Structure 1
């Protein structure tokens, strides 16, 4: 492969920049995780009660990455934008500052004709500042309209900002939904053109966007036409940044057209640029770096506080924090938060969010099998909706009540509540809600063994979703119809429904939904005796759930993966994932799951690995949990296994 030096000299290089190029002083952008933590602190400042929860959200172990803490910033941004406005406008404070040596190198290369195209996922403006300092004409692309007007004959420098720009906050794309949905058509069309004519040089970019879709940058579909790429990773002394699996997959795909380097950038630019154009790389000592970091962080905090004062009220602050606590697997703290909200908020002014809080409290109680308490909270939510003549919300909470009777196997009551929800949705012409409640009715008929009726209601819900264009609802219905066929051993039909549901969910950018769809696919592959395909789906679902901080989803996918490892007779791996699932269940305080998982792991150690010492440890743990549940039948079964083992 041609050397990186020659690629630049032949003017065939396109530099693709990530956050790494903007971290050095004097630019010194704040870490994305630090920005998240400052945001949460500003939200919590709206009420003293919330301030005690900031550490619960920022210091919880991040299950997607070792040695990092907190929820993924993209998920936090998604929840914030659901309940308030103006968040990305607060980022404009990051305009202050000066470009660092990395940005100035890019400007020098552009001025000397070595570089015409720069792509970046950063929304800062330091590259623009460096170009301006060198009096270089350039054009910035941040919106879809900008990308649609791209003209390769334009001789200016082209700066493509894939994730938007702080000067145009509406273009910033840093939410879970946007991450999963991928780039717009106008952006991908530009990338396709550039891949066909230029060698991509990645610098300071981890490639994390490839996690959900390896083809996020069109590099998979354009492999035949693409010129190739060099991916430069960081190197400090003897330490080298690890190459992630996504980049490794692309390297295999590109073969001789791909290369991985460590620490070549910006060092190679010193050899390319003439002496008079060299950049003075100022080294900041620890004190200077600390002072700069403190100054920038204080600016950011002030901007975020101003945003929170303008856009965050007490009610939506509690709603945001409660939702994040629930998602991060802290049900008791989430419950406390919602309960406090119901005590301090004005019911007349904020009845919908208060009703939502009661519904959330019911959901949290249901998660822990406290069904009577859950029912009482759902009924409170329903009463608030009825008192305020909000029939749409009333139907939603009647559905929640029906769910309690369903898990109690009081099917007559469950049918009554689901049907009442359907009646209300029909009367107010809430077709989206109607499709959802018909779907629930279909599931209930499946539970009582009336599969023909189940399929009829699911099909009605599906047709309604198609009629109104509810793609998310359609994906859920397709998934449920697939499960109906799966249970009837109609594997081929089930697989078709699951694949279509997964395709729609991916197109919507529903990251959590993708994990659920992958889990369905994993189940059908497992049933069809395709353990490798099944395991691949479960592990991908687990990775997504861990990335989101979704402990409930992670628990499900970890134990599913473990069960496939048992089928593959990879018992040590099975034990590893069962242990992972047990740890998550402990964090969730999910006694039922802990009891079941400890028993299953005990069986793996006992019957498969013949490790009787470890088997006994997990059997005894399981007995302790089953005693808490007062499930004597299960305890007796485990005690018989222990006796046979001895």
Structure 2
């Protein structure tokens, strides 16, 4: 959590909204796992509020929004506010569909199925868990597949169908042990121990309880220990071993006292965290102002860019128009030049032909020996006939 807080502060310092929202969601998730739901809700809601106000439509921004909704939905589910949990988780599911994320959809289908299970609507719960299972199988998500088997087992156990429940729990346990995922593997162990206590198979119940207790001690899970100790008490009570049952009953009481002490500590921490929340509310307001400023800057840049593009397009259009006018004028002048050249060529041709004929005939006549013709020509030209001869 310290790392997430440091990341959040660094993101705020450089104005990285995406990184800041991711840090808020991570802190909210940490508080949720610690059971400090009030603070978890506050962080997830702040992350969601920033995402909602932002105009960023990138994949990361949309994923941050979905994660915040999923966190809020799980908090409401834990608090028993099923209506709000259903609303938040369905919005998260719709977001995962838009992101085309089979894993995200599988998680939210399972969460919605848990709402129906808590409400006692077994058929609807089965339907949503099956949808989750289908998506997990599609992407070969072994953890998701195993969790779905646990969900199926819980529903079968609720309907007193213990044989099917045992089969589902055992199916879930094998891959979890192979993955060495102790946090998740302890749940089917406890579930199997509980069924075998109910059905009177005490040897198997002890086997699973001993294994689960070792894991609980290893992962230091107080809540799991309390559940395991309670099953030990029930087991020895059913077996008639009152002394052992009393010992485990005392351990259960001590564990509950320990849990109560932890809850008191959490309340004390919450009181201190309220001060932090007020400070963070101020940071939130500053972040929102920064976001608004960022949006205003983006809008200004967009307007300036639009104006520049419009001017450039106008200039290009004007240039193209002028080029067309010049080209048209050039073609007209060229056509006029061709017409003038053709006119003078034809005119020259029309004059040259008769002149050539006249000149030719005059030469012939000059060379003629006919005196009568010579005298006539000379008179016409003003020459003396004697000179011509």
TM-score normalised over the length of structure 1: 0.37
Whether 1:513 and 2:184 are equivalent positions in the alignment is yes
In 2, distance between residues paired with 1:586 and 1:418? 34
Equivalent residues in 2 for 1:195-206 (5 A)? none
Match of 2:206 in 1: 535
Q: How does 1:321-360 map to 2 (within 5 A)?
A: 341=6, 344-347=9-12, 348-349=15-16, 350-351=19-20, 352-360=22-30
Please say if residues 232 and 248 of structure 2, whose CA atoms lie closer than 8 Å, have aligned partners that are also in contact.
yes
Aligned to 2:106: 435
Instruction: Measure, in 2, the Cα distance between the counterparts of 1:362 and 1:546.
Output: 21
* Contact 1:355 1:385 survives alignment (8 Å): no
What's 2:94 paired with? 423
Corresponding residue for residue 476 of structure 1? 147
User: What are the within-5 Å matches in structure 2 for residues 236-385 of structure 1?
Assistant: 318-319=2-3, 341=6, 344-347=9-12, 348-349=15-16, 350-351=19-20, 352-364=22-34, 367=35, 371-384=37-50
Using the alignment, how far apart are the partners of 2:221 and 2:40 within structure 1?
21
The offset of 1:541, in angstroms, is: 0.5
Kept in 1, the 8 Å contact 2:25–2:67? The answer is no
Which residue of 1 is the match for residue 175 of structure 2?
504
Question: What is the alpha-carbon distance in structure 2 between the residues aligned to residue 590 and residue 563 of structure 1?
Answer: 24
Task: Provide closer, same or farther for how the CA distance between residues 362 and 545 of structure 1 changes in structure 2, counting only shifts above 3 A.
Answer: closer
In structure 2, the residue matched to 1:561 is 232
1:547 Cα deviation (Å)? Answer: 1.6
1:552 is matched with 223
Shift of 1:513: 1.7
Larger CA Rg, structure 1 vs 2: 2
Deviations 1:237-265 (A, max 9, x none): xxxxxxxxxxxxxxxxxxxxxxxxxxxxx
In the other structure, the counterpart of 2:242 is 571
Change (3 A) 1:462 1:540: same
Q: CA deviation at 1:423?
A: 0.6
Can you list the C-alpha shifts for 1:390-439, whole angstroms capped at 9, x where unaligned? 32233233122123333443322221111111111111011111111101
- In the alignment, is the contact (CA less than 8 A) between 2:197 and 2:234 conserved in 1? no
User: Which residue of 1 is the match for residue 344 of structure 2?
Assistant: none
Gapped regions of structure 2 (runs ≥ 5): 265-389
**In structure 2, do the counterparts of structure 1 residues 561 and 592 end up closer, same or farther at CA, with 3 Å as the change threshold?**
farther
Aligned partner of 1:447 in structure 2 is: 118
* Greater RCO (Cα-Cα under 8 Å, separation 6 or more): 1
The residue number in structure 2 matching 1:523 is 194
TM-score normalised to structure 2 length: 0.59
Q: 1:379: how far off?
A: 1.0
In 2 relative to 1, CA 512–372 (structure 1 residues): closer, same or farther, beyond 3 Å? closer
Correspondence 1:492 to 2:163: yes
Q: Distance in 2 between matches of 1:527 and 1:403?
A: 30
Query: SS in structure 1 opposite 2:11?
Result: coil
Give the C-alpha shift of residue 532 in structure 1: 2.7
Greater helix proportion: 2
Q: Distance in 1 between matches of 2:68 and 2:213?
A: 30
Q: 1:590 to 1:489 in 2, by over 3 A?
A: farther
Alpha-carbon shift at residue 588 of structure 1 (Å): 4.2
8 Å contact 2:146–2:175 — kept in the other structure? yes
* Contact in 2 for aligned 1:356/1:381 (Cα 8 Å): no
Question: Residue 523 and residue 423 in structure 1: after superposition, are their counterparts in 2 closer, same or farther (change >3 A)?
Answer: same
Tell me, in whole angstroms, the C-alpha distance in 1 between the residues paired with 2:65 and 2:198.
39
Whether the aligned pair in 2 keeps the contact of 1:418 and 1:440 (CA below 8 Å) is yes
Q: Partners in 1 of 2:122 and 2:177 — Cα distance?
A: 29
Question: Shift of the alpha carbon at 1:373?
Answer: 4.5
Q: Number of residues paired by the alignment?
A: 254
Task: Please give the per-residue CA displacement for 1:96-135, whole angstroms capped at 9, x wherever unaligned.
Answer: xxxxxxxxxxxxxxxxxxxxxxxxxxxxxxxxxxxxxxxx
CA contact (8 A) 1:525 1:533 kept: yes
Q: What CA deviation, in whole Å up to 9, does each residue of 1:64-90 have, x standing for no partner?
A: xxxxxxxxxxxxxxxxxxxxxxxxxxx
